[in-house]
Amino acid sequence: MVTIQDVAKAAGVSAMTVSHVINHHPHVRSETRARVLQAITDLDYRVNVAARNLRTGRTGTIGLGVPEIDRPYYGQLAAEIIKAAARHNLKVAIEQTGASREGELDALALSRNRLYDGLILSTVGLGPADTDLLKIDYPMVILGERIFDGPVDHVAMPNVEGARAATAHLIERGCRRIALIDGAPGEEVDVSSLRHDGYREALREAGIPVDPRLLVPIGELTMEQGAAAAQRVSESGAGVDGAFCVTDTVAIGAMRGFADAGMRVPQDVRVIGFDNIAEGAYTVPSLSSIDPDHALMAGTAVGFLVKRLAEMGKNKQVAREFISRFSVVARESTG
Amino acid sequence: MVTIQDVAKAAGVSAMTVSHVINHHPHVRSETRARVLQAITDLDYRVNVAARNLRTGRTGTIGLGVPEIDRPYYGQLAAEIIKAAARHNLKVAIEQTGASREGELDALALSRNRLYDGLILSTVGLGPADTDLLKIDYPMVILGERIFDGPVDHVAMPNVEGARAATAHLIERGCRRIALIDGAPGEEVDVSSLRHDGYREALREAGIPVDPRLLVPIGELTMEQGAAAAQRVSESGAGVDGAFCVTDTVAIGAMRGFADAGMRVPQDVRVIGFDNIAEGAYTVPSLSSIDPDHALMAGTAVGFLVKRLAEMGKNKQVAREFISRFSVVARESTG
DNA sequence: ATGAAAGCGCTAACAC
DNA sequence: GTGTTAGCGCTTTCAT
């Protein structure tokens, strides 16, 4: 293995000078720099990342904690985050939390190992009760929900407003018996309950009462459970004519479930989701959705983290917060 | 920061003993071990991973190079690989190669930085011409295609056989004018050309001539291009009554394209894909596919890599190779 | 503009 | 079963 010493010897300088060249420090004569660069090329020298890490305390890698990387929404988010991180010369390691509080706490615990320079954590299981656990001196950005008051950076979706707009969109299209297919209510203030609030707001504004028979909670936000929920509400005799699904994944499942129940989308029942995953444009019928601008969220989250990294050791700054914009994407499923 | 020395002092032993305890070395008196563990707990000690890396030359992280993590197939593969790696206490960092030869070469180049202990690379752009570039002394597993003769481990799909079975399935269901929607032919022996071969074999076995008008190459294996291709072949007057799509993603797009062209699936045209991504079970109609057993492939790839890691420094072993099994998943799209 | 010294925290090799 | 020594490759500090 070629070390910085070998390069120094070959270039007739000290290891320090080689280090200066590698790290683009200014005070190196250009003639010296050229000699060093030549030696680096000749010997095919590569910095030993582990040694640099030990010395600098940085690893050049950030962690990304998501429920499961194979869910389309998180895959698309991860793709954007990896690209944004690359612009800052940061690598991204993926942790799968399994959408559980325990998994998310495990991801948090990693921070203490200083395996990564920072962590972007997409929470769905943690709640306000866990605020204290987030009070760690470690660069971290919580992604997805805005549920903690603690001094931690957030990049959030416009959950309530987006859900209200989605529901209002169905109402505009003539729906009056709108089902809400969302996560089972828990004690945590999570994505489902925020979108649940938006649904209720839109109904109230339109003067439509909430019918409990149209509230269909599911245990997991999967296509499978979305399909089962749609079938259940179709056959319940509640007279459903629209469905707001808490995520696109659930919505795609729901469209499948309605088809199985003999309901046509959008003629018999209109369906809208949330997230605007890429697949939604290609389903039959194509899926209307709320687009929270993934790329903007991903870029902002990485930007927040990079700022935190730069601030390490300095006085703690106030928590940054960003709530993404959204737009209603009307496609065939609400046509 | 608490170091191993601090723990040693607190426990009244040497740093070496603490190290032995941490690394589960056998020859430590259980009474001593207990004292050390107590000190670790009391001080909330964490190993400094960077220091350990420098000393051992291992990082505990492997790289996974995929075209794009937001494509369902790669997301599902990555999820399995992360789980399999976790069983060996390995973290996974994701590199996106953009499905280009350059991106894949970049991922390969990372090996020289020794940033990861090894690399699992899902190739779609590299070809036999790049064999020499793979002759590096670095633990690596090529995933997805079996196209190199070099001394590098492979985990491959049954591409030709799977494609033949998919096409044969369409023929069984009565199709005679079967379109092939696959990647544009290049010089590389890539996934498309292998599945192309399988398609031709099945037609030959059934005595059906290949009609060039039914061969629809696309530039990128996306839903968008799948949709465009389906529309094109529908409107070409070639009388298509079936379509084998090189991936499920393309097939989902193709079903959309057929719908846009006024063709009903499966009544007017039957469609089958390849990969059996989770979404295929929930499309309307649900998508028939070839299931190459992702979990088995992922587990085998990680297993190969772990074996290579264990062999580092020893004599080079012969390249391992594994070709996954497959099954035909018949759903509504070929009903 | 360049370099000498020191040491980041850990563990392999060996001694006892 | 436990401890001593040495050093992994790099960069911070400070000197010149």
CA of B28: nearest nucleotide by C1' is D1
Q: For residue B62, give Cα distances in angstroms to A333, B81, B139.
A: 42, 10, 10
Q: Do A79 and B96 touch (CB under 8 A)?
A: yes
* Distance between CA atoms of residues A251 and A249, nearest Å: 5
Other C-beta atoms closer than 10 Å to the C-beta of B30 total: 7
Decide if pLDDT at B188 tops 60: no
Q: Is the overall model pTM greater than 0.75, yes or no?
A: yes
| In chain B, residues 30-49 whose CB comes closer than 8 Å to chain A | 44, 46-49
Other C-beta atoms closer than 10 Å to the C-beta of A200 total 17
Residue B92, φ and ψ in degrees, nearest 5: -125, 125
- Taking residue A277's Cβ as centre, other Cβ atoms within 10 Å add up to 27
What is residue B147's predicted lDDT score, i.e. its pLDDT? 64
Residue B189 has pLDDT above 60, yes or no: no
A64 touches strand C (CB under 7 A): no
- What was the pLDDT predicted at B146? 62
Q: Is the CB of B14 under 7 A from strand D?
A: yes
Average of per-residue pLDDT across B306-317: 78
* Closest chain B CA to residue A84: B96
pLDDT one-digit tens code per residue, A18-71: 999 998 988 889 899 999 999 999 999 999 888 998 898 888 899 999 999 999
Q: Which nucleotides of C are covered by protein (CB under 7 A)?
A: 1-5, 7-13
Per CB-CB distance under 8 Å, the chain A contacts of B113 are 46-47, 49
Give the long-range contacts of residues B206-211, CB within 8 A, separation 24 or more.
B206/B168, B206/B171, B208/B171, B208/B176, B208/B178, B211/B177, B211/B238
What's the mean pLDDT when you consider all of chain A?
Answer: 90
CB pairs under 8 A between A and B: 140
Examine the pLDDT at B313 and tell me if it is beyond 70: no
Residue A121 — pLDDT band, cuts 50, 70, 90? very high
Q: Find the Å distance, CA of residue B57 to C1' of nucleotide C7.
A: 19
**Cα atoms found within 13 Å of the Cα of residue B105, Cβ hemisphere only:** 11
**Is the CB of B28 within 7 Å of strand C?**
no
> How many CB atoms within 10 Å of residue B215?
17
Q: Give the one of B49, B53, B283 whose C-beta lies nearest to A283's C-beta.
A: B283
The reported pLDDT for the residue numbered B187 is 43
Residue B124 confidence (pLDDT):
81
pLDDT at A187: 42
Q: Which nucleotides of D are covered by protein (CB under 7 A)?
A: 1-5, 7-13
Question: Which 211-230 residues of chain A touch chain B by CB within 8 A?
Answer: 223-224, 227
Closest nt by CA–C1' to B31: D1
Q: Which of the listed ranges A106-110, A156-160, B162-166 does the model predict with the highest average pLDDT?
A: B162-166
What's the rounded Cα separation, in Å, for the pair B155 and B319?
11
Nucleotide lying nearest to A30, CA to C1' measure: C1
A163 pLDDT above the threshold of 70: yes
Q: Which residues of B touch A284 (CB under 8 A)?
A: 255-256, 259, 283-284
Mutate to test the interface with A, among B112, B284, B286, B312 (most CBs of A within 10 A): B284
β-pair type (A327-329, A289-291)? antiparallel
Spatial contact of B251 and B226, defined as CB atoms under 8 Å apart: yes
Q: Which residues of B touch A283 (CB under 8 A)?
A: 252, 256, 283-284
Q: How far is B259 from chain A (nearest CA, A)?
A: 8
Tokens of A297: 């969220």
CB contact under 8 A, A93 and B96: no
Rounded CA–C1' distance between B19 and C13, in angstroms? 14
CB atoms within 10 A of CB A110: 18
Which residue of chain A has the CA closest to B227? A282
Q: What's the rounded Cα separation, in Å, for the pair A292 and B176?
A: 45
A265-274 b/e (C-beta count within 10 Å ≥ 16 → b): bbeebbbbbb
Query: How far off is chain B from A206, nearest CA to CA, in Å?
Result: 32
Chain A nearest CA to B284, separation (Å): 6
Per DSSP bridges, beta strands B215-218 and B178-183 are parallel
B65-95 pLDDT, tens per residue? 999 999 999 999 999 999 999 999 899 999 9
